[in-house]
A and B are shown apart, each in its own frame.
Chain A
Amino acid sequence: MTATATVAAPAPNPDPPSTAPKPGRPHAQKFVNSLWILPPLLLVGGFFLYPLALVVKQSFIAKDGTVGLGVWRETVDSPQFTDALWHTVKIAVLSTAGCLVLGFFLAVVLAFVPFPGARLVSRLVDTILAFPSFLIALAFTFLYGTAGVVNAMADELGAGQPLVGFLYSPWCVIFAEVTFYTPFVMRPLLAAFALVPRDRLQVAASLGAGPWRVVTRILLPEAVPALAAGGSLTLLLTLNEFGIVLFIGAKDVTTLPMLVHAKGAVTFDYPGACVVAVVEVALSLALYGLYRFVFSRTGAARAGVVA
């Protein structure tokens, strides 16, 4: 007790700790914090929104300077535009369907059928995701072109005329897009399949289900979220695909991105190109909205897809 009594009381600190809250400080801090939003806002605004706004504005100004809906009416009514829109949607939908079927099949094989080199193939799938799309078109030209590998071999064997002649058809564009975009479906599928317990499939088999039934009744329902997410993404990407269509150079195949290119860089019809570009952006945004909707509703996030 004595010891306690003799301990000197601490001297009062004349300066309060610097961490003590000061009146009005939170507002100042809030203001400073809110400044962090400026750099990204300036970037998005300056490099994306402003040019986009200029494109939208330009779409309402005719070559002679008249402001109105004239350019829109003229462009949208043209058979060229209708044809491009039709081709764009057709190629995108068919490519996506092809990617879904092929991607599901390949993902099932890679995930559930053990074979030597499965891991290597899986890594190759990842590699394709990093390639530029036009490389596929270029490879197709080397393979299936008039003087390509396949036709050269066919000629060697005495087939005479070019055996494969689909390179310049819309089907080749679809084929190339399926080849390039299938990994975009496979990646989320493989992630989803990695979460499916093998016991579940084995028990299904023990109950009398053959491989087809196991795939359609057990695996497919498990894969729906990943298929929806991968499919939506693929549809979005194929809708805007430019490189493959340009490199293949398929006869009479004009898509919306090609039409923008033709109007903007070939015929110098900037207002017309802007109209098509705005339609393309609207279509993409609508699809992206659908993609996000599907993603959030189906819980595709759990399937390992990065949104």
Chain B
Amino acid sequence: MQPDSDQPLLRMRGVGKAFFGVRVLDDVDLDLHPGQVHALVGENGAGKSTLMKIASGVYQPDAGTLELSGKPVTLPHPRAAQAAGIGIIHQEFNLLPERTVAENVFLGREPLRRGLVDRRAMHARTAELLAGVGETAIAPQTRVGRLGVAQQQVVEIVKALALDARVLIMDEPTASLAEHEVELLYNLVRRLQQRGIGILYVSHRLTEVFDLSGRITVLKDGRRVTTLDTAEATPDTLVRHMVGRELSHYFPERAAPGSAGAARLQLAAAGNGRLRPVDLELRSGEVLGIGGLQGSGRSALARAVFGIDGFRTGQMLLDGVPVRVRSPRQAVRAGIAYVTEDRKGEGLALSQSVLDNALLAQRAVQPRWFARAARTTTVRELLDAVEVHAAGTGQEIRYLSGGNQQKVILARWLAMKPRVLLFDEPTRGIDVGAKAAIHDLIRRLADDGAAVLMISSELPELIGMSDRIVVMRDGAIAGELPAGASEEAVMGLATGAATSTEVPA
């Protein structure tokens, strides 16, 4: 797996970068060989994305050198990197949903015939490229917007391959995929590997790192901590390298069995267009985990409770009182908080300050004159309490890390003193350290008497955090599992492999 004899495709030596005098990357070495999957791990702020951006021509390094197949190169802009054979697959896809697969793949390099775009050649070559990665279900003429996320990712990869990429940088490639799509990505990565493409794989999910990579580089605070063969590493050692703590300290202690209080949120045969009638009880003091594949109705459930796509049938009770929640505004007033899955799209006003974002919910539902000074003070205290790291509360929130952004959203909702909190993928794209902080906060909220519903695709998180786990499938509840259930039990229910609600933990 480690053919040190042959020349690395990509060699980075002593790479450093500073922004406004803050050193974010210092003396980093990295070798990527043909056919190698090289995982790049580290907390957010460790310098992964900076390193990635240097390798793909977005940033220029202040120090150090880059070599491609032994030749020194400079990459003044992303297109130079593309031309040199370095492709990057971002978390957010760079695709045009209104255009076809072929038009996307060949954008900027449309094949010409007598001066005009040769559609036939474009389609044929796209089909070839798709077949080359084992994907035959996608027609080149399909509009990209009609494809699912996993297929769009394939298109993105094919687009990079069309540029003869020999180095492929993948940034959190599974972040937007459902559990069952991850396997498809694995196959794709292995196929690319066989073709001799070097893959720099950036991921928070250690499972993937161990499943796919041959070698791992750990970054911490802008420095390379270690580079080791995956065979020699264990999750524990890796996490220790990343944060200096053991994996077992990862999740806060659960509520004592039987300590959950009265039912706060009850659903009786509540359903809508996307949800079959659901019966659910959420108690004060507990964290109820909602598992299931992406699209199984987990988010639809949260959205229904929060009044975005409200329930059409059945009943919802809050603290025993029947309520009708037809809009998020009513939900907020009823004491429900929703931390959405799409943090940037639905959770934040990116160009506004930390403080404005934290005050959003209060400003929205409380009268203008209502204790303005007091609520600003409260929110500032809350921001301190959740340990938001920002240059100040006036800083634009877009410049914060994902973890800090999420903490601001938490502070926003804490200010509303919610009775019920809905979390949808609360730690997606958040680094290990901030993750632990958010897990602690969620648990503390439950301990203070709130009822917490937490949707998560990450099984360790779901299992580690939840006092009970409800698994959804096809818009309905597939079953319920006790605390500490096994990953297999959750997946069994989620995929339909197990149908009984009495799955042993």
A binds B: no
